[in-house]
């Protein structure tokens, strides 16, 4: 476990003085159902604290960096960048799911990849960092992960992983994984444009992009809209 902490700290870019705080930030409430020692211990308190820290950090940053934006504009940007899918995506990049302490039942139903659990874990870790250090350190950590999302919003670029959102929705509602197929490729080799179709049963969505990855995201985004899947755009 100590080695795992070192590996995770490397992914986080932060080394804890109090390793117990890090451990507690990774304990999902389901874990206590199977391990009596952790019956009253979970990351929910740290999540609450981290949520408050993140809210202040992002609000302060937007207030200072977007001087001409209205209160409504700032609130909309904040709601996007601190949304569950965005925070979950950040946790996935740091491989946080690998280190979560979950019940066997939660594990078997895909808990390590579930956006709600990963998003909560990001906030819990932030809360743990705040307690382990100070506000400025926690602020630096949060902005190092959130600032890119703010920049994407400013450029009207997508900040969500629509493929993951669609897959989680498909598995939850239909018990199947979406399939992707290249419909056509156009343009010269150095300027290819891909059109891809995503399918869930008879439900389809199409998207284009300069590479297969972006085309798949575009297709997934379209199908999410068709199916009424909730994303930050509904906020």
Q: Select which of 123, 132, 161, 197 is catalytic.
A: 123
Q: Select which of 51, 106, 132, 168 is catalytic.
A: 51
Side-chain-facing half-sphere of 120: CA atoms under 13 Å: 21
For the question of residue 95 being annotated catalytic, the response is no
For the chain, the first-to-last Cα distance in angstroms comes to: 39
Q: What share of the chain is helix, strand, coil (3-state, %, to 5)?
A: 65, 10, 25
Let me know: does 123 contact 54? Beta carbons within 8 Å. Answer: yes
For the question of residue 51 being annotated catalytic, the response is yes
Binding-site residues for Mg(2+), in ranges, read: 47, 120, 123
Report the candidate in 210, 212, 206, 207 with the shortest Cα–Cα distance to residue 193.
210
Let me know: does 125 contact 133? Beta carbons within 8 Å. Answer: no
Task: Kindly list the catalytic residues.
Answer: 51, 123
């Amino acid at each position: 476990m100590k080695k795992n902490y070192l590996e995770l700290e490397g992914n986080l870019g932060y080394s804890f003085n109090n390793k117990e705080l890090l451990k507690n930030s990774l304990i999902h409430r389901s874990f206590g159902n199977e391990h009596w020692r952790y019956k009253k211990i979970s990351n929910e308190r740290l999540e609450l604290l981290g949520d408050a820290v993140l809210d202040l950090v992002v609000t302060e940053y937007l207030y200072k960096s977007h001087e001409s934006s209205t209160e409504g504009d700032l609130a909309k940007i904040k709601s996007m960048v601190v949304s569950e899918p965005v925070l979950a995506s950040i946790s996935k990049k740091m491989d946080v799911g690998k280190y979560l302490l979950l019940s066997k039942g939660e594990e078997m139903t895909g808990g390590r990849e579930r956006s709600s659990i990963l998003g909560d874990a990001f906030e819990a870790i932030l809360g743990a960092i705040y307690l382990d250090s100070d506000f400025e350190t926690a602020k630096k950590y949060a902005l190092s992960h959130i600032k890119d999302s703010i920049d994407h919003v400013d450029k009207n670029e997508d900040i969500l992983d629509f493929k993951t959102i669609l897959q989680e929705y498909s598995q939850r509602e239909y018990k199947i994984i979406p399939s992707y197929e290249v419909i056509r490729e156009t343009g010269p080799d150095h300027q290819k444009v891909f059109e891809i179709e995503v399918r869930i049963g008879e439900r389809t969505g199409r998207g284009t992009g300069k590479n297969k990855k972006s085309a798949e995201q575009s297709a997934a985004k379209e199908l999410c809209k068709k199916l009424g899947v909730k994303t930050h755009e509904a906020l």
